[in-house]
Amino acid sequence: MHVSAGPDSATGFSHYNQAKFLAHDDSLFTEHYMSMRLETSNQTLYIVPNPQSDTFCRVRTMCWTKETDDLTREMYNKFFEEIDEINLDPVHVEIDNVTLQVRAKAIYSMIDGKAANAIVGNRNTHGCPLCPPYYGINKMIGPSFFHSRLNAVEWLMRNAAKKAVPGNPAQTHPEVRKEARSQADELEQYFNMNINRPKIGGCGSSNNGNMARKLLENSEQFASTLNINAGLVKNLKIISSLALSSRKLKSGKVKELWAILSKQIFDEFPFIKKLPPCIHKYSHLAEFVDKLPYTMNFVDEQSGERCHKRHKFSRPHLSRKTSAEDNLMDMMREALTWSDPKMSYLAYQSYRAKIEKKCDIEMIEYFDQEKEEIKLTNNYGYTESDKNSGSDENDSSDSESEDNLSDDEDSDSI
């Protein structure tokens, strides 16, 4: 059995006035896990149908506490201790008079960059937990590519503004800020969405994964507004989609793509001395493609992230308020109900019937598959025939490739 797991914390839960809840509910720290694949020595018995979905993601632990490095490390160690125990003393399951001895292979991939740094002991947030001396890839931690797309797009916007001001002063310089706002205003007009605005309530930014995906989808417009190399933006779009892809990739081609992209970035922004982790991380993509026995969508962190949306709903709507324990117990119960394997599978089958697997024409050369198998789309996720038949916008976004659906944070995924 191949399993993945990882902790994540979330804030912004409904606050209650009762004293017994106060001081408990600032931050919910949960550890999730997922059974990815069950295989015998010569046969695959089960593969999770959608590893990026919250419905196949089970809760392991749940507590009201802040995420700390010590706690993350403790969870990581406990998880792998349990995996070692299972391998020393395998679980026996009998099905149709056949006894299966189940051992476990695990990867701690449902983590973000912060948790990855905590596990390897990297205190420098500009450093990479996968590179020497930390070698996170050997510690079986995941690459956490899910957030990289947004972070990389924000980084591009900041540096495009810096590049536009003579002398390339710091990003806090008033001229650079002014330029960044004017570029964002122009993008807002063209893409018809908020860019670099404070969230309602004043805390955090309006930018999210959907915004980043939409900006990259129309890479030429995005690049011309920022006045940067369109090829760079296009390659960033391709590599960020490959990193979350549900298709088998050619590691050699991915390596070539990274070499071109990193050169384009340094050429475009000569004042950059070192790439930030969100972009540098893509240099490890080819390594993961070679090392992992499954596709990249199995090791991104979004299933755990999506679970938090469920917890945020189940707390005010489905959980008792009789005590802090009852409250958490009900949230746990809800989480285990929605991720019940049979129910999840049924829901998935009815949803799956509506989806066709399609991909972007620019990405074919990176897929380790016969070309005939892949249904093509243009850059906007619909096929030419969809367009001609007049399917409305919702239909076409429903039938986007899994790779595009994957970080649709606002979509109610199954």
Closer Cβ to Zn ion, 43 or 124, answer by number: 124
- Interatomic CA distance for residues 147 and 125, integer angstroms: 15
Task: Give min distance, CB of 148 to Zn ion, in A.
Answer: 12
Task: Give min distance, CB of 284 to Zn ion, in A.
Answer: 6
Closer Cβ to Zn ion, 143 or 209, answer by number: 143
Task: Point out the residue whose Cβ comes nearest to Zn ion.
Answer: 128
x/- letters, 114..133, toward Zn ion (CB under 5 A): --------------x-xx--
Closer Cβ to Zn ion, 33 or 145, answer by number: 145
The β-bridge relationship of strands 91-95 and 44-47 is: unpaired
Closer Cβ to Zn ion, 131 or 165, answer by number: 131
Task: Give min distance, CB of 130 to Zn ion, in A.
Answer: 4
| Residues between 204 and 233 that touch Zn ion (CB under 5 A) | none
Task: Give min distance, CB of 123 to Zn ion, in A.
Answer: 16
Task: Give min distance, CB of 151 to Zn ion, in A.
Answer: 15
What does residue 188 show for φ and ψ, rounded to 5 degrees? -60, -40
Task: Give min distance, CB of 185 to Zn ion, in A.
Answer: 35
Query: Residue 401: beta bridge partners?
Result: none
Task: Give min distance, CB of 129 to Zn ion, in A.
Answer: 8
Closer Cβ to Zn ion, 1 or 137, answer by number: 137
Task: Give min distance, CB of 141 to Zn ion, in A.
Answer: 12
x/- letters, 355..384, toward Zn ion (CB under 5 A): ------------------------------
Closer Cβ to Zn ion, 115 or 215, answer by number: 115
| Residues between 130 and 159 that touch Zn ion (CB under 5 A) | 130-131
Q: Which of 119, 76, 48, 75 minimizes the C-alpha distance to 298?
A: 48
Closer Cβ to Zn ion, 116 or 130, answer by number: 130
Closer Cβ to Zn ion, 185 or 290, answer by number: 290
- Interatomic CA distance for residues 69 and 71, integer angstroms: 5
CB 149 within 8 A of CB 209: yes
Binding interface with Zn ion (CB under 5 A): 128, 130-131
